[in-house]
Amino acid sequence: MKIIGIITTILVTLIVSPIWRGYALSKLWLWFIVSTFGAAPLGIAQSIGLALVVSFLTHQYDSYEDKEKSATERMVTGVVTAFLSPAMALLIGWIVKGFLG
């Protein structure tokens, strides 16, 4: 039964995380790029694609830290990071947006 929970967690994260990141990027893009440079707004699908490209080009992974963690710890860290990173970006972006007027 534990393996079913692990597989379900991985699948849900793989499906929901890019959508969440795309939503966050579309909002940040609207708040800062559209209002500053007059660029076209991005939809969630376009934002997902852009986030994938940027992630592909810039992702850095330090495997040294992970060697000391169990598989469960690595999975929990990955899931938390997948959801917390866009949330923190949105929170900070929302605060900064308030300073822009």
Question: In this predicted model, what pLDDT tens digit does every residue of 15-37 receive, in sequence order?
Answer: 999 999 999 999 999 999 999 99
CA torsion 48→49→50→53, rounded to 10°?
120
Distance CA 36, CA 73 (A): 41
Angle at 54 between CA 74 and CA 65, to 5 degrees: 25
In a domain, 11, yes or no: yes
In a domain, 7, yes or no: yes
**91 falls in which pLDDT band (50, 70, 90)?**
very high
In a domain, 61, yes or no: no
pTM of the complete model? 0.80
**Between 20 and 70, whose confidence is greater?**
20
In a domain, 59, yes or no: no
Question: Percentage of the chain with pLDDT > 90?
Answer: 60
The structural domain count of the chain equals 1
- Note down the domain range covering 75: 2-53+70-100
Contacts of residue 42, Cβ cutoff 8 Å, sequence gap at least 6: 25, 26, 29, 30, 50
Residue type at position 21: R
In a domain, 65, yes or no: no
What integer pLDDT is reported at residue 101 of this predicted model? Answer: 67
